[in-house]
C-alpha cells in the first residue's frame, strides 16, 4: 500500500448517551478494501456515516488527502459514493430517471446508453422503463448498486450492500468491488458475507469486541 | 450551477406530476376556502370588497402550509435526502431547487387562480391586477420561509403542527404588506411602497432561506 488517502485518527462517536467507539485509528490507501465487522449496535453504520460526513464525530479527525473532510466537502463528495440502508431511490421514478438525476447532480455527463448499460449489467434490462416501486426488494437494491458503475468515485462506502440480493447478484457485486479495488479504488463495507480480493490489500476492522462498559480500545484493526 | 438547479426542479416536478392528487389538494383547498367567505358573510358588496385581499391572502398562507411538511419528509424517508447531502454541489442550491419546484406546484397555481376568485368579492380591473402581483411577489416568500420550518421539524413526530407554529408568525409581514397593497390601491393610494417592501422581503428570503434550510437539514439528517 502506498500513500494513505483516507486517514482516521482517534475517532470517537456517540449516539444518544452511548459511546460506540473511541480512539479508533486506521488509514486506507489506493487499492484497498476495509471490511468492518461487529455485532448489531456496535456502531458499524455510524462509523460509515461519520466517514461519509453525515454524522458529526464527538472527537478525532477524518482526513482525505491530508485534510479534514469537513473543510473540503465538495472535493471529498466528488470522490465519494455512499450507499446506505435506504435505497436512496425515488419510487415514483423509473430506474433510469433515478440514476440520471444523481449522475447529473454529481456533474458527470453520462449518456442514456451508459445508464442502460449499467442497469443491464445488473440484470435489469426489462425494467428500465418501470417505476422503482413495482420492483422487488432485490431489484431495487440492484438499481441502487448500478450507481457504482456510473459515478467515477474513488471511495465507495457500502453499508450491507448484499442484503436482499440473490446468489447471482452477490457474485456480480463481488466482481464489481474487486474490479474497483484492482483499479486503485477504495471500498469500505459492512457485511456478514465473506469478501476476498486478490488484488490490493484487505483490512478487517472489528468493532465492539470489548465489553460495552469498557471505553478504551474497542476496536482492533488487523492487516492481512 | 444552473444545471444543478434545473435538474432538481425537473426531478421534483416529475415527482409531483406522478402524484397529481397532492398538487390538486392545495389548489382546491385554496379555491374552497376563498369561496366559503362570500357564502358565509352574505352578498354585501361593500363588505366583501373590503375583506377580499385579506381573505385571499390568509387562504394562500394556509394552502402553502398544506404541502410544506412533505417538502423534505419524502426524501428523508426514502434516503434520497442523505444522498442529496453527499452530492458535490452546495446544499443551499439543491434546497433552492426544491423550493422553486414547491412554488411552481403550490404557489403559482394560486397566483393564476386569484383574479377569478377576486371576482367573487367584486374586485375590479386594477385591484385584481394588484392582487395577482402581490401574490406573485409573496408566494415565493412563503415557500422559502416554509422550507426553513420544514427542515427544522424533519423527522419529528407531529412535525406538521410544529411547522405551522414556527412558520405562520414569519408569514405575518408578507400578509400585512400583501393585503395592504390591494387595500391601498383600492382606496386610490399608491401601492408602490408596499410592493417595494415585498420585493425586499423576497430578495432577503431568497438569499438567506436556502442557506438556513441547508444548515437545518444537516442537523436533522444526523
Same domain membership, residue A62 and residue A23: yes
| Nearest chain B residue (CA) to A81 | B86
Which residue of A54, A80, A85 is in closest CB contact with B222?
A: A54
A77 and B11 in contact by Cβ < 8 A? no
Domain boundary pick from A99, A117, A152? A152
- Alpha-carbon gap: A121 to the closest alpha carbon of chain B (Å): 23
Average pLDDT over residues B33-38: 92
Answer yes or no: do B4 and A88 touch at CB < 8 A. Answer: no
Same domain, A4 and A36: yes
The whole domain housing A64 covers 1-79+153-224
Residue B160's SS3 state is helix
* Structure confidence at residue A196 as a pLDDT band (50, 70, 90): low
Q: Which residue has the cell 439543491?
A: B94
Of A3, A17, A39, A29, the residue nearest A218 (C-alpha): A39
pLDDT of residue A215: 32
* Helix locations, A106-194, DSSP H: 112-121, 137-145, 147-150, 167-182
In angstroms, the CA B205 to CA B201 distance is 6
Q: Map residue A25 onto helix, strand or coil.
A: strand
Specify the length of chain A in residues.
Answer: 224
Which of the residues B14, B86, B87 would you substitute to probe the A interface, choosing the one with the greatest number of A C-beta atoms within 10 Å?
A: B86
DSSP H helical segments within chain B, as ranges?
Answer: 2-17, 20-41, 45-66, 70-77, 80-85, 91-106, 108-119, 125-152, 159-186, 192-221
CA distances (Å), origin B4, targets A96, A116, A169, B17, B152: 18, 22, 32, 20, 23
pLDDT of A209:
62
| Confidence category of residue B144, pLDDT binned at 50, 70, 90 | very high
The domain that holds A6 is classified in CATH as 3.40.50.300
**Strand A67-68 vs strand A80-83: parallel, antiparallel, or unpaired?**
unpaired
Asked whether residue A84 is assigned to any structural domain, the reply reads: no
- State whether the Cα torsion B61-B66-B69-B70 is positive or negative: negative
Give strand pairing partners of A155: A80, A186
Tell me how many domains chain A contains.
2
| Cα radius of gyration (chain A) | 18
Q: Are residues A222 and A117 in the same domain?
A: no
**Contact (CB<8Å) A87/B88:** no
Q: If you write DSSP's letter for every residue of A32-89 in order, what string do you get?
A: EEEEEE--TTSSHHHHHHHHHTSS--SEEEEEETTEEGGG-HHHHHHTEEEE-SS---
**Cα A158 from Cα A166, distance rounded (Å):** 17
Q: Give me the pLDDT at residue A110, please.
A: 80
Give the Cβ contact number of residue A71 at 10 Å.
Answer: 10
Window A:106-165, CB contacts with B under 8 Å: 106-107, 131
Which structural domain range is residue B41 located in? 2-221
The CA distance from B123 to B133, in Å, is 14
A164 and A115 housed in the same domain: no
CB A44 within 8 A of CB A190: yes
| Closest CB to A105 among B7, B18, B221 | B7
Question: By the CB < 8 Å criterion, does A77 face chain B?
Answer: yes
Q: For residue B13, which of B82, B78, B109 has the smallest C-alpha distance?
A: B109
Assess whether A109 and A176 both reside in one domain.
no
Percentage with pLDDT > 90 across chain B: 63
Domain boundary among A132, A152, A172: A152
Chain centroid offset of residue B2 CA: 22
User: ipTM of the predicted structure?
Assistant: 0.84
CA distance B120 to B39: 10
A75 pLDDT exceeds 90?
Answer: no
pLDDT in the model for residue A223: 47
Domain C-terminal end among A137, A152, A167: A152
- Tally: H helices and E strands in chain A: 7, 10
Indicate whether A51 and A125 sit together in one domain. Answer: no
In this predicted structure, the answer to whether residue B20 has a pLDDT above a threshold of 50 is yes
Q: Taking CA atoms, what residue in B is nearest to A51?
A: B86
Element (H, E) at A136: none
For residues A58 and A169, state if they share a domain: yes
pLDDT > 70 fraction of chain A, expressed in percent and rounded? 90
Distance CA A202, CA A31 (A): 9
Looking at residue B108, its pLDDT comes to: 94
| Per-residue H/E/C for B168-219 | HHHHHHHHHHHHHHHHHHHCCCCCHHHHHHHHHHHHHHHHHHHHHHHHHHHH
Q: Do both A127 and A157 map to the same domain? A: no
Residues of A in contact with B17 (CB under 8 A): none
Q: Which three cell numbers stand for residue B136?
A: 406573485
Residues of B in contact with A85 (CB under 8 A): 79
Sheet holding A59-64, edge to edge: A18-29, A4-15, A59-64, A67-68
Residue A140 grid coordinates: 431495487
More confident residue, A209 or A67: A67
pLDDT higher than threshold 50 for residue A221? no
Residue B103 pLDDT exceeds 60? yes
Q: Which residue has the cell 402581490?
A: B134
Count of domains forming chain B: 1
Q: What's the number of CA atoms in the CB half-sphere (13 Å) around residue A218? A: 25
- CA gap B1, A173 in Å, rounded: 33
pTM, two decimals, is 0.88
Same domain, A61 and A103: no
On whether both A214 and A224 belong to a single domain, the answer is: yes
- The answer to the question of residue A23 being in a domain is yes
**Whether residue A174 sits in one domain with residue A67:** yes
Query: Does residue A32 carry a pLDDT above 50?
Result: yes
Is the domain of A170 the same as that of A61?
Answer: yes
Q: How far is B26 from chain A (nearest CA, A)?
A: 20
**DSSP code, position B155:** T
Amino acid at each position: 500500500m502506498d500513500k494513505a488517502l483516507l486517514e482516521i485518527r482517534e475517532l470517537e462517536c456517540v449516539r444518544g448517551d452511548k459511546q460506540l467507539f473511541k480512539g479508533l485509528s486506521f488509514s486506507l490507501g489506493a487499492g484497498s478494501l476495509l471490511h468492518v465487522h461487529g455485532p448489531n449496535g456496535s456502531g458499524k453504520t455510524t462509523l460509515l456515516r461519520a466517514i461519509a460526513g453525515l454524522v458529526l464525530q464527538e472527537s478525532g479527525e477524518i482526513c482525505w488527502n491530508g485534510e479534514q473532510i469537513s473543510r473540503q466537502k465538495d472535493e471529498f463528495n466528488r470522490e465519494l459514493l455512499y450507499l446506505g440502508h435506504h435505497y436512496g431511490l425515488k419510487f415514483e421514478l423509473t430506474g433510469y430517471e433515478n440514476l440520471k438525476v444523481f449522475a447529473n447532480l454529481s456533474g458527470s455527463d453520462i449518456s442514456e446508453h451508459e445508464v442502460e448499460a449499467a442497469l443491464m449489467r445488473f440484470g435489469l434490462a426489462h425494467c428500465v422503463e418501470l417505476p422503482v416501486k413495482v420492483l422487488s426488494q432485490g431489484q431495487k437494491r440492484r438499481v441502487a448498486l448500478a450507481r457504482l458503475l456510473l459515478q467515477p468515485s474513488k471511495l465507495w462506502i457500502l453499508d450491507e450492500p448484499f442484503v436482499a440480493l440473490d446468489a447471482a447478484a452477490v457474485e456480480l457485486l463481488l466482481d464489481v468491488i474487486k474490479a474497483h479495488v484492482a483499479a486503485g479504488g477504495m471500498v469500505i463495507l459492512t457485511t456478514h458475507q465473506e469478501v476476498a480480493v486478490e488484488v490490493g490489500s484487505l483490512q478487517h476492522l472489528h468493532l465492539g469486541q470489548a465489553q460495552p462498559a469498557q471505553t478504551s480500545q474497542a476496536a482492533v484493526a488487523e492487516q492481512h | 450551477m444552473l444545471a444543478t438547479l434545473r435538474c432538481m426542479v425537473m426531478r421534483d416536478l416529475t415527482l409531483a406530476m406522478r402524484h397529481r392528487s397532492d398538487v390538486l389538494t392545495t389548489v382546491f383547498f385554496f379555491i374552497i376556502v376563498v369561496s366559503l367567505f362570500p357564502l358565509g358573510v352574505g352578498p354585501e358588496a361593500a363588505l366583501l370588497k373590503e375583506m377580499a385581499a385579506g381573505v385571499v391572502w390568509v387562504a394562500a398562507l394556509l394552502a402553502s402550509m398544506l404541502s410544506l411538511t412533505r417538502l423534505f419528509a419524502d426524501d428523508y424517508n426514502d434516503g434520497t435526502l442523505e444522498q442529496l447531502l453527499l452530492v458535490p454541489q452546495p446544499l443551499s442550491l439543491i434546497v433552492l431547487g426544491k423550493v422553486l419546484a414547491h412554488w411552481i406546484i403550490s404557489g403559482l397555481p394560486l397566483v393564476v387562480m386569484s383574479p377569478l376568485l377576486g371576482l367573487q368579492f367584486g374586485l375590479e380591473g386594477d385591484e385584481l391586477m394588484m392582487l395577482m402581483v402581490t401574490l406573485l411577489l409573496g408566494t415565493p416568500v412563503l415557500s422559502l420561509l416554509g422550507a426553513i420550518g420544514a427542515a427544522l421539524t424533519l423527522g419529528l413526530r407531529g412535525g406538521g403542527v410544529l411547522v405551522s407554529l414556527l412558520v405562520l408568525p414569519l408569514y405575518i409581514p408578507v400578509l400585512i404588506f400583501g393585503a395592504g397593497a390591494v387595500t391601498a390601491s383600492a382606496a386610490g393610494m399608491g401601492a408602490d411602497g408596499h410592493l417595494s417592501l415585498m420585493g425586499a422581503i423576497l430578495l432577503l428570503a431568497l438569499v438567506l432561506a436556502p442557506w438556513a434550510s441547508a444548515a437545518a437539514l444537516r442537523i436533522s439528517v444526523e
